[in-house]
Amino acid sequence: MTEAAEPAPGTAIRESADRCPGVFSTHEAKDGALARIRLPGGRIRADQLTTLAQAAAAHADGFLELTARGNLQLRGITDVEAVADAVVSAGLAPSSSHDKVRNIEVSPLTGRIGGVIDAGPLTAALDDALRADPAATSISGRFLFGVDDGRGDIRRRGADACAVARSAEPVVADILVGGVAVGSVGGVPGIVEALISVAAGLNAVAPGAWRVRDLGAEDRHRLERLVAENLAPTVESDEDDVAAPVEPIVGWFDQDDGSVLLGSVVELGRLPARLAEFIGAVESPVVFTPDREILICDLGEGVAETVVRVLAPMGLIFDANSPWARLSCCVGAPGCGSANAPVRKDLLAHVEAGLPVGDREHWVGCERRCGSPAGTHLSVQATPDGGYDRRRR
Ligand code: SF4
């Protein structure tokens, strides 16, 4: 066990715990209570989605809101207890004490299309280990784990602790601390242990820091050295520097096993409860991605054709050229008391007017820039004078 030390200059120590909402501790927004449901890897079963959709219709504003970490939110909740009961009954909050630490982004196509490994079992093992670790309750709700199946999509998203698969047999992964590779380790238990050691190390180096990016340079190096102690040196390869562009996962995709995966988006990243119920009725696994896409997986061709024919007219967008495949936004006014503008309304008007949309745009109501994409994007930020400031970030 490493002794806690005084944080070095440049490290931001938070005086209070993070106020991230969960299932059991909702956030009081201007439009009512808000609950966030963590979905490790964005994965959800059809029956679980149906239960959430029914809860959103009965006890919230009638939508499932997609987050930038592949989680779901319910807003405008009128009965917090009923929503929590529904989430628990669906098996989506398996631990009340560890609810908010299960932030795990995973390559969305893993196990179905490409990738060096199927990251599903590794993700499940990480989730199990987190929930079994009493010390993990001290991890901030903002801390982010990443599991990259080797295709490079998650490694670039700036997770605090990320495993990037290098080989499948045996399973070997590089371990990244705040995006920096510090070593390699083999076997699922070893990878899980290394990932959790990043969170434990952060707490040891700078108790009260929420994320690796809160650390100054000196503390960051201390954390990297601490985690690397139990790892083999990383072998750098040319591929590590290549950042292939990430295309929206929207449209029709052939899975490696011959079935079909349908990728889609919705306006404003808000999935209407009724549409969610129809997706649940397909009775296939669903993945919500950190780019707010909705993947309906493991479909036969005939079923996939029916899904497109029935759900497209209901608002599920399967066209990768739709502006909504490149647009996202925060809630803005009136839902958020900090907002300088009704962001959703303004963004809808922008799209309906046919105004141009950049490669990747995120609209926000104030400088906090909630829900911003992890990668480079155009930030369109409302200003107090009623305008919008457009800036590349
Ligand atoms: S970016 Fe500002 S306006 Fe938007 S949700 Fe966050 S705090 Fe509210």
Q: Which residue has the tokens 């605090």?
A: 160
Q: Does domain 251-320 match CATH 3.40.190.10? A: no
Chain mean position to CA 193: 21
331 C-beta closer than 6 A to ligand 1: yes
Per the CB < 8 A criterion, the answer to whether 263 and 293 are in contact is yes
The position carrying tokens 């909050």 is: 93
Contacting residues for 5 by C-beta, under 8 A, at least 6 apart: 204, 205
State the average pLDDT for the chain.
93
Q: How many C-beta atoms surround the C-beta of residue 128 within 10 A?
A: 12
User: Would you say the CB of residue 372 lies under 6 angstroms from ligand 1?
Assistant: no
Domain extents in the chain:
27-99, 101-241, 251-320, 326-392
From the number of C-beta atoms within 10 Å of its C-beta (0-12, 13-18, 19+), residue 321 rates as exposed
pLDDT tens string 271-323: 999 999 999 999 999 999 999 999 999 999 999 999 999 999 999 999 999 99
The CATH homologous superfamily of the domain defined by 101-241 = Sulfite Reductase Hemoprotein, domain 1 (3.30.413.10)
Cβ–ligand 1 distance for 371 under 6 Å, the answer no
* 326-392 is classed CATH 3.30.413.10: yes
pLDDT tens digits, residue range 207-265? 889 999 999 999 999 999 999 999 999 876 655 555 556 789 999 999 999 999 999 99
The HSE-up count of residue 317 (CA atoms within 13 Å, CB side) is: 21
Task: Provide the CATH number for the domain formed by 27-99 in this structure.
Answer: 3.30.70
User: pTM of the prediction?
Assistant: 0.93
Candidate of 331, 345, 363 to mutate for ligand 1, largest count of ligand atoms within 8 Å of Cβ: 331
Domains 101-241 and 326-392 share a fold: yes
Cα distance between residue 349 and residue 359, in whole Å: 19
Residues recorded for the chain:
393
Atom of ligand 1 nearest to the CA of 382: 3
What does the pLDDT look like over 313-355, one tens digit per residue?
999 999 999 999 999 999 999 999 999 999 999 999 999 999 9
Edge-to-edge, what's the strand order for the sheet holding 260-264? 43-44, 286-288, 294-299, 260-264, 251-254
CA–CA dist 106, 19 (Å, integer): 24
Question: Quick check: CB of 30 below 6 Å from ligand 1?
Answer: no
pLDDT of residue 1: 37
CB 330 near ligand 1, within 6 Å = yes
Whether the CB of 92 sits within 6 Å of ligand 1? no
CB distance 339 to ligand 1 below 6 Å: yes
